[in-house]
Amino acid sequence: MSNVEKTFSIIKPNAVKKAVIGDIIKQFESEGLKVTAAKLAMISKDKCEIFYAEHKERPFFGELVEFMTSGPVLLMVLSGPNAVTKNRQIMGATDPKKADAGTIRAKHADSMGENAVHGSDSAESAKREIALFFEPYELVNA
């Protein structure tokens, strides 16, 4: 059996604003990840600071929280074989200048900060992040 797992994904405000939600989801689906929970919402400043707590000492923290709370985002759970690693591959590097051609960040990032998508960096992070934004009843088993 392949390692079917869940990961947490956010389509960030710059990508929602540019109306590329469909393009991004199409890429996830065509590369083996299914959307198993989703909602469009604004993230509150308090929740965003908890979500990105690991970065709170970084110089860009204020700017990151400001950006992530500047407009609606699409919060999602993606499921599939090795979903955590697979999602990171599909997203591309944090810095769009270093992202491989064809990755979501190469196509849709506007800068290092406004880089179109978030994806969990481990199965443990995915569990924490999913629990922060979704209630158990909102999660589809797939």
CA distance 116 to 73: 10
Whose Cβ is closer to Mg ion: residue 88's or residue 108's?
Answer: 88
Contact between 3 and ligand IDP by CB under 6 A: the answer reads no
Active site residues: 118
Tell me the H-state helices in the chain: 13-17, 21-30, 45-51, 61-68, 83-91, 104-108, 123-133
Size of the chain in residues:
142
With beta carbons less than 8 A apart as the criterion, state whether 117 and 105 touch: yes
Which of these ranges, 3-11, 20-28, 32-40, 108-116, lies near ligand IDP under the rule CB under 6 A? 108-116
Min dist CB 118 to Mg ion, Å, is 7
Q: Which residue is nearest to Mg ion (CB)?
A: 121
In the complex, least distance from residue 53 CB atom to ligand IDP, rounded to whole angstroms? 11
Tokens of 116: 């179109």
Sites of contact with ligand IDP (CB under 6 A): 55, 60, 64, 94, 112-113, 115, 118, 121
